């Protein structure tokens, strides 16, 4: 760690993420779901999930986000008991359920294809599990109507699923999953089958219903927007490994790893070498200049001389002379990406290396010509050092 021979240690700056902070798995105030060092290997060597530890507390809306094949569904299925964990323990409401079958775990699952009973009405679809439990008819009827009210389906109670829209079918599936009042509802890409507008609407409704029931939801998605807009807690996974757990804001503002910075938001990721430290700042040499970068909270300071990546959000970058901002770099204008009132100007700052500057712009603001030089600036604390 000390600076004896700093330059020989190539490779990324490793900033240890504190895996602590986990709650006791049982007893008062324990989480609804606790995963402890859970891994899953299929066959000899398909490692689908590696060393997953997390707490989902009561009433929390948790989103698991990551690219295809990163282990999201497998994690969800292990919580529900549809897949055995190869290693680790799983606790639900304080009980070790690792070796229990799905029927003895207090979870319900909702999938992308929601498999309603086609010959039963909406009412009967929702009622089914209560009937199986042997609940008396009056109580059953009362509960089903209450649930149908909640998901705004009371008017459609006597329809069959084939006579409903996709969004309405989705709500039947949700009502059916929630009617048994599970401790945890596990949702695997619940909005995946819906078109864009319906998804937006269902996102709001799902969140509202989750709040009203107070049930812990764990939702898998590969839509960043879905995950970030609905969840109290976001888990970003890649290649079977948890990359980061935090609120949407934490993940957006303080991406921990290069993967997260690339995957979430509109970030500029810059390569460099750590030159020195000063309090909460790190000085990183990149493209022949030294930049001020924020050090991550906690963990060991990254060693001087080590190669590192840092990330600066495109919306924290400014063009033009900004003497108030500590970092600046020259770039050559390449193009502008339009997104309504927001525009992203792209500048080449080194051969093949581009910086994105996102800004609100009205028609009267200046436009660049290709090849035009411009200064791009950002504040000392806008950049964040990444772990990998």
Ligand X SMILES: Nc1ncnc2c1ncn2[C@@H]1O[C@H](COP(=O)(O)OP(=O)(O)OP(=O)(O)O)[C@@H](O)[C@H]1O
Residues that bind Mg ion (CB under 5 A): 73
Q: Per CB under 6 A, does 70 bind ligand X?
A: yes
- Cβ-based neighbours of 139, under 8 Å, separated by 6 or more: 130
Site membership for ligand X, residue 42 (CB under 6 A): yes
Stretch that binds ligand X, among 67-75, 161-169, 328-336, 339-347 (CB under 6 A): 67-75
Round to whole Å and give the CA distance between 289 and 90: 49
Q: Which does 156 bind (CB under 5 to 8 A by kind): Mg ion, ligand X, none?
A: none
288-327 positions binding ligand X, by CB under 6 A: none
Report what 46 binds from Mg ion, ligand X, none; CB cut-off 5-8 Å by kind: ligand X
Of 71 and 296, which has the nearer Cβ to ligand X? 71
Strands (E), the chain: 33-42, 46-56, 61-65, 87-92, 95-96, 107-110, 184-188, 216-221, 233-238, 241-246, 267-278, 281-286, 289-294, 307-313, 318-319, 327-339, 342-350, 353-360, 373-378, 383-385
For ligand X, the closer CB: 68 or 278: 68
Each residue 72-101 as x (binds ligand X by CB under 6 A) or -, in order, gives xxx---------------------------
* Alpha carbons within 13 A on the beta-carbon side of 213: 29
* Among the residue ranges 68-76, 333-341, 356-364, 380-388, the one whose residues contact ligand X (CB under 6 A): 68-76
Q: Which does 222 bind (CB under 5 to 8 A by kind): ligand X, Mg ion, none?
A: ligand X
* Interface with ligand X in residues 204-233 (CB under 6 A): 222
Q: Is 46 in the site for ligand X (CB under 6 A)?
A: yes
Hey, what's the torsion of the CAs at 50, 55, 59, 62, to 10 degrees? -30
Q: To 10 degrees, what angle do helices 196-213 and 166-178 make?
A: 20
Report the residue number, 226 or 345, with the smaller CB distance to ligand X: 226
- Residues within the interface to ligand X (CB under 6 A): 42, 46, 48, 66, 68-74, 222
């Amino acid at each position: 760690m000390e600076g004896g021979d700093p330059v020989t240690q190539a490779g990324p700056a490793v900033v240890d993420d504190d895996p602590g902070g986990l709650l006791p798995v049982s007893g008062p105030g324990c989480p609804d779901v606790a995963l402890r060092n859970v891994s899953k290997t299929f066959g000899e060597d398909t490692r689908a999930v590696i060393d997953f530890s997390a707490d989902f507390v009561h009433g929390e809306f948790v989103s698991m986000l990551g690219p295809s094949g990163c282990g999201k569904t497998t994690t969800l299925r292990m919580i529900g008991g549809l897949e055995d964990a190869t290693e680790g323990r799983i606790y639900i409401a304080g009980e070790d359920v690792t070796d229990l079958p799905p029927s003895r775990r207090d979870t319900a699952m909702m999938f992308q294809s929601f498999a309603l009973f086609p010959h039963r009405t909406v009412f009967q679809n929702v009622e089914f599990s209560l009937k199986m439990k042997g609940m008396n008819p009056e109580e059953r009827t009362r509960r089903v109507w209450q649930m149908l009210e909640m998901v705004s389906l009371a008017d459609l109670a006597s329809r069959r699923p084939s006579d409903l829209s996709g969004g309405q079918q989705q709500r039947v599936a949700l009502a059916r999953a929630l009617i048994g009042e599970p401790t945890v509802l596990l949702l695997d890409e619940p909005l995946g089958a819906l078109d864009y507008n319906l998804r937006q609407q269902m996102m709001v409704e799902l969140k509202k219903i989750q709040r009203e029931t107070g049930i812990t939801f764990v939702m898998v998605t590969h839509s960043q927007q879905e995950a970030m807009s609905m969840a109290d807690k976001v888990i970003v996974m890649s290649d079977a490994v948890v990359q980061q757990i935090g609120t949407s804001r934490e993940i957006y503002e303080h991406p921990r790893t290069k993967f997260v910075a690339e995957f979430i938001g509109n970030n500029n990721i810059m390569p460099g070498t750590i030159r020195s430290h000063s309090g909460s700042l790190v000085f990183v040499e990149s493209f022949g200049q030294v930049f001020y970068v924020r050090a991550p909270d906690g963990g060991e300071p990254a060693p001087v001389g080590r190669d590192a990546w840092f990330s600066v959000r495109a919306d924290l970058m400014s063009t033009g002379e900004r003497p108030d901002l500590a970092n600046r770099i020259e770039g050559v204008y390449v193009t502008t990406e339009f997104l309504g009132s927001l525009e992203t100007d792209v500048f080449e700052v080194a051969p093949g290396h581009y910086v994105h500057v996102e800004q609100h712009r009205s028609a009267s603001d200046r436009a660049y010509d290709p090849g035009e030089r411009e200064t791009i600036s950002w504040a000392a604390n806008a950049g964040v050092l990444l772990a990998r």
